[in-house]
Amino acid sequence: MASFGSTRREEDSVLVQQNLFVRTLTLNRPRQLNALNFEMISRLLELFLAYEKDDNVKLVIVKGKGRAFCAGGDVAAVVHQINEGNWRLGAHFFQKEFTLNYLLATYSKPQVSILNGIVMGGGAGVSIHGRFRVATENSVFAMPETALGLFPDVGASYYLSRLPGFFGEYVGLTGTRLDGAEMLACGLATHFVPSTRLSLLEEALCKVDSSDFAIIQAIIDKYSQNPTLKEKSAYYKMDVIDKCFSRRTVEEILSALEKEATNTADAWLTSTIQALKKASPMSLKISLKSIREGRLQGVGQCLVREYRMVCHVLKGEVSKDFREGCRAILLDKDKNPKWEPSKLELVTNHMVEQYFSKLDDEGWEELELPARSNLPVTAIAKL
């Protein structure tokens, strides 16, 4: 397998294959479900920047090794840094990650992400912003951050807010899992290709000598199918989702769902209510505000705001829920986080607003996004 550039140790976590005008990047930490660590993010950023300038690269394919595309950012490492008293190192991780997300969202060449497995959190950040997202019958998508005391980041307030109706609020607040057919239906995926046809699709893509989006689209279309949604898909609940998740506050969303549940015994309603009640109250409130603001902002503005928010989360002055969520879910695995504030009504508007403000901390700086030029129409539309 041909590799690119220098021969540093972290190269092994991103494998590079060269075919004529195509570069295939494989996320290669299968035992960690390809969770993105700092080295992988830096490597991807370096590669994508180099490929954009290289006339011999027309198309970039991104995929994951094993049963995951990418299960998210390596937040355990970030929490370790916070616990050591160094939240700024954690902030540096997110700064690099969000810069990569912005580059992919405004990329001038086609990116095809093959999502044959788990796509969560940071994994969505390195794929959903790209032009083509290929789901399969093995795809599992989720933004599970509210259960961890975090919020859907990596530019999720941009793409969740642009899903049909209020489906983005539903997905972002509950952390619900979507399969490949649901990803296609709501627009998170652009195509659905059965996993048995992926090798044929990749073979066809590797012969491409063009960056023309229409040409790439036509190739993927050849291998695509229109899958049927499973009988109990949340996508069939769109009426209830729009009715409840369009409410102004998290409390109102929850009571609207509970009102629906008194009228009909429905397993979906029960699990949706349960997911909200288990999540961090602070996370739910900042996540809802973030998605709502994202509807009216470009992708760069969303990332700048999310960077402010994540720095407040890491610093832990208003709430230490991220630390506690990671302890309960990832470290001790007792799955019993003690959120503080413990109830939605104890989270004041003033607390929520603080997450959206600049940090009053010596040496802290806003997220500086790289200048972008010669952008395709698809990228300009996102600004």
Which residues are marked as active site? 73, 122, 145, 153
* Cα separation, 277 vs 14, whole angstroms: 38
Sequence-separated (6 or more) residues with CB below 8 Å from residue 358: 308, 364, 366
Instruction: Please name the helix (run of DSSP H) or strand (run of DSSP E) that holds residue 253, with its range, or none.
Output: helix 250-263
* Cα separation, 219 vs 215, whole angstroms: 6
Distances, alpha carbon 47 to alpha carbons 9, 15, 16, 41, 104, in Å: 15, 11, 9, 10, 11
Cβ–Cβ < 8 Å for 278, 254: no
Sequence-separated (6 or more) residues with CB below 8 Å from residue 9: 39
CA angle, 226 then 229 then 234, to 5°: 140
Backbone angles phi, psi at 211, to 5 degrees: -105, 15
* Cα separation, 189 vs 40, whole angstroms: 23
Sequence-separated (6 or more) residues with CB below 8 Å from residue 351: 282, 285, 318, 319, 341
* Cα separation, 354 vs 188, whole angstroms: 30
